[in-house]
C-alpha cells in the first residue's frame, strides 16, 4: 500500500492531458495490487486466494509496463519503482508458494 501512495504522489506531476490516460491507468493498476491480495485473503478456499494473488501479480506487471512507458515519455526520471516492484513480485510469488502448501480450506 506504500507503493500506491508513492504512485499517487509521482503521478500528480504528470501532464494534465494524461489525467484520464496514463495517470489513471497507472493508479488503477497500483490500487489493484493490494485490493486483490485483500480480496483473495477473504475468500473461502486456498484455490480462490491463489487466484486473486495471481490477479494481483498481473496488475503489478501491468503497472511495471505502464511505468516503463511513463519513463519513455519523460514523465518519470529514472524509474524509482523498479526495485520495489521486483520486491513485491517476489513476495507475492513466495506467498503463492506458501498458500499452495497449506491444508485445503473448504475445498
Instruction: Give how many domains the chain has, as a whole number.
Output: 1
Instruction: Give the Cα separation of 26 and 22 in Å (integer).
Output: 6
User: In the prediction, which pLDDT does 107 show?
Assistant: 53
Instruction: Give a yes or no: residue 106 inside a domain.
Output: no
pTM of structure: 0.90
Mean pLDDT for each 10-residue chunk of the chain (107 residues)? 93 92 97 98 95 98 95 83 90 96 77
Instruction: Give a yes or no: residue 107 inside a domain.
Output: no
Instruction: Give a yes or no: residue 97 inside a domain.
Output: yes
Write the CATH number for 60: 1.20.1440.60
User: In the prediction, which pLDDT does 101 show?
Assistant: 94
User: In the prediction, which pLDDT does 81 show?
Assistant: 82
CA angle 60, 64, 65 (to 5 degrees): 120
User: In the prediction, which pLDDT does 77 show?
Assistant: 79
User: In the prediction, which pLDDT does 104 show?
Assistant: 81
User: In the prediction, which pLDDT does 76 show?
Assistant: 84
Report yes or no: 67 and 79 within 8 Å, Cβ to Cβ. yes
Instruction: Give the Cα separation of 7 and 2 in Å (integer).
Output: 9
What is the DSSP secondary structure assignment for residue 17, as one 8-state letter?
A: G
Instruction: Give a yes or no: residue 95 inside a domain.
Output: yes
Instruction: Give a yes or no: residue 65 inside a domain.
Output: yes
What domain range includes position 96?
Answer: 2-101
For the chain, report the end-to-end CA distance as a whole number of angstroms.
Answer: 30
Q: Which of these, 68, 57, 61, 41, lies nearest to 94 by C-alpha position?
A: 57
Amino acid at each position: 500500500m506504500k507503493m500506491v501512495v508513492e504512485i499517487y504522489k509521482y503521478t500528480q506531476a504528470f501532464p494534465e492531458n494524461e489525467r484520464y490516460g496514463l495517470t489513471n491507468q497507472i493508479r488503477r493498476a497500483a490500487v489493484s495490487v493490494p485490493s486483490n491480495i485483500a480480496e483473495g485473503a477473504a475468500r473461502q478456499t486456498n484455490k480462490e486466494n491463489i487466484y486473486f494473488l495471481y490477479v494481483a501479480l498481473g496488475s503489478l506487471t501491468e503497472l511495471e509496463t505502464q511505468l516503463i512507458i511513463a519513463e519513455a515519455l519523460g514523465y518519470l526520471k529514472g524509474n524509482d519503482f523498479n526495485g520495489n516492484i521486483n520486491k513485491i513480485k517476489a513476495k507475492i510469488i513466495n506467498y503463492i508458494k506458501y498458500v499452495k502448501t497449506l491444508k485445503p480450506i473448504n475445498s
